[in-house]
Amino acid sequence: MLAKRIIPCLDVKDGKTVKGVNFINFRDAGDPVELGAEYSRQGADELVFLDITASHEGRKTFAEMVAQVAATLNIPFTVGGGINELSDVERLLNAGADKISINSAALRRPELIDEIARNYGSQVCVVAIDGRLEDSGEWVCYLNGGRIPTDRTLFEWAKEAENRGAGEILFTSMSHDGVKTGYPNEALAQLSDNLSIPVIASGGAGNMQHFRDVFIEGKADAALAASVFHFGEIKIPELKQYLEKEGICVRH
């Protein structure tokens, strides 16, 4: 069995790490470069940095932060936010990022996935999907940090992203984000069954059992979380020890 990955996520706004609930009500969680280095020391397998209010002005600052992160980390890290074309990808990879996460830009122009995979390899391209379970029973994909619903649904869009060359799918349940009641394991299991690329679960971690459940019931390859790590509610070494006792293979 491949080792499951634990991935802290740092949402970066104006150079600071922030954390919200259901994509709103943000509070400050510290310096992203320092936090990233601390997670690396604690045994995180990878990190994700998201420029959550990526604007044209902010991109240069973000690339500078990526370079600082790359200088202090010895684990792979993914960056996302405001990536709309190959030149954005190139700038962030040159700054030291290992992978690039695209979300709204891919929904608006799916060919971007093909272009990144063709130019840099599938392993660089993470397609992030923000989904909400609607009253219709369908998981609908949202644009612009969860603000605008689209006519795409989770499972068909994830499959198309895989077919176009995505290396991983990062699925965030907007309904579960920041509320700490567990991950959407049923949807995640269905995603994992439908796809042959890794699925990263995001949105809902509140305790260690939620991580166990997302790997066993949700069949996720990796679990991403933010506030439980940022505010010290769960320590990564203790989480890995717990998961091992539960029979889940993790990296050391």
Concerning whether 151 is annotated as a catalytic residue, the answer is: no
Phi, psi angles (nearest 5°) of residue 105: -60, -35
- Tell me which residue of 50, 54, 34 sits closest to 42, measured CA to CA: 34
The residue from 130, 177, 213, 221 that is catalytic is 130
Phi, psi angles (nearest 5°) of residue 145: 60, 35
Question: What single-letter DSSP state applies at residue 2?
Answer: P
Amino acid at 192: S
* Burial track 96-124 (b if 16+ CB lie within 10 A, e otherwise): bbbbbbbbbbbbeebebbebbbeebebeb
Concerning whether 130 is annotated as a catalytic residue, the answer is: yes
d(CA 191, CA 155): 6
- Which positions are annotated as active-site residues? 11, 130
